[in-house]
Amino acid sequence: MILVNDRYLVLTPEKVVIRYDLAGIGPRALAQIIDLLLLAFATIALLIGTSFLGVVSAGLSSLLSGLIGAFSFFVYFIAFEGAASGQTPGKRAMGIRVMHADGTPITWRGAIIRNVIRVGDLLPPPYLAGFITMFLNERSQRLGDLFANTVVCRVGETQRGFTPAPHRAGVHQLESVVPELDRMTLAEYFAIKRLCDRWPYLPPEEQVRSMQDIWEPFRKEHKIENVSGVHPIYIMEAVVMKYGRLKKLV
């Protein structure tokens, strides 16, 4: 994993180099300001709502207000990054997202770790530690990114053009076109699965190159036919689901 001209290069286990554009401090700071403003409005609305409970129970209202004030900051960032593929509303507005340093989508565990460590960034003066850490490492990682092994990258054009099928469990509707996978190995399974996971975040040229370097050799080796009018990524997901279920991996 190296950095060349603000472009983050990841060498995958399949020996394919995938490139991501790192987000600068400017877009990240603006995204943070947007998120903090939205969070402030939401927190005030919640606090006003809980104040009405004081008519019934002053103790309950005080407890809820304290919990909202203490944890809303962390819940906001963890919930959005974990559920929305690494994008809070602010990050979406600025066209950036969080992902793991190996190029895979951020997990709930990663979202929790990087945002709990925000406590270090908030020590007086606020965010100074985070800015210093970002300046001192080539991948612009703040403290939370270092602990969670995540980076913040610009969103590629592919986000506006294509989204892979959201199949994660059960039987894929295209499994019928996938032959028996008796000779498929676990290493091949992880290679195809990683490509499926990374697909939405890859620039178009990387999608084409990864398809040629990873999918096409596999497809020919296992005699998997293309389907007219169906994007190969859906066939790849069908392969992942079929093999994963047969081997009890999903």
Q: Quick one: pLDDT at residue 170?
A: 67
Q: How many domains does the chain have?
A: 2
Residues 120, 18: one domain?
A: yes
Kindly state whether residue 164 falls inside one of the protein's structural domains. Answer: no
Which of 98, 122, 155 is the endpoint of a domain? 155
Which of 107, 124, 155 is the endpoint of a domain? 155
Q: Quick one: pLDDT at residue 77?
A: 94
Q: Pick from 231, 189, 238: which is nearest to 214 by CA? A: 189
Q: Quick one: pLDDT at residue 160?
A: 41
Q: Quick one: pLDDT at residue 55?
A: 52
Q: Quick one: pLDDT at residue 61?
A: 61
Domain that holds residue 219: 175-246
Residues 72, 125: one domain?
A: yes
Residues 84, 136: one domain?
A: yes
Kindly state whether residue 165 falls inside one of the protein's structural domains. Answer: no
| Ranges of residues in the chain whose predicted pLDDT is under 70 | 1-7, 11-17, 50-66, 69-70, 156-170, 250
Kindly state whether residue 40 falls inside one of the protein's structural domains. Answer: yes
Q: Quick one: pLDDT at residue 218?
A: 94
Kindly state whether residue 225 falls inside one of the protein's structural domains. Answer: yes
Residues 91, 189: one domain?
A: no
Q: Quick one: pLDDT at residue 34?
A: 96
Kindly state whether residue 167 falls inside one of the protein's structural domains. Answer: no
Contacts of residue 217, Cβ cutoff 8 Å, sequence gap at least 6? none
Kindly state whether residue 160 falls inside one of the protein's structural domains. Answer: no
> Would the CA dihedral through 17, 20, 24, 29 be positive or negative?
negative
DSSP 118-165: HHHHTSSSTTHHHHHHHHHSTT---HHHHHHTEEEEEPPGGGGT----
Residues 95, 6: one domain?
A: yes
Residues 89, 188: one domain?
A: no
Q: Quick one: pLDDT at residue 1?
A: 46
Residues 122, 205: one domain?
A: no
Residues 190, 73: one domain?
A: no
Q: Quick one: pLDDT at residue 90?
A: 96
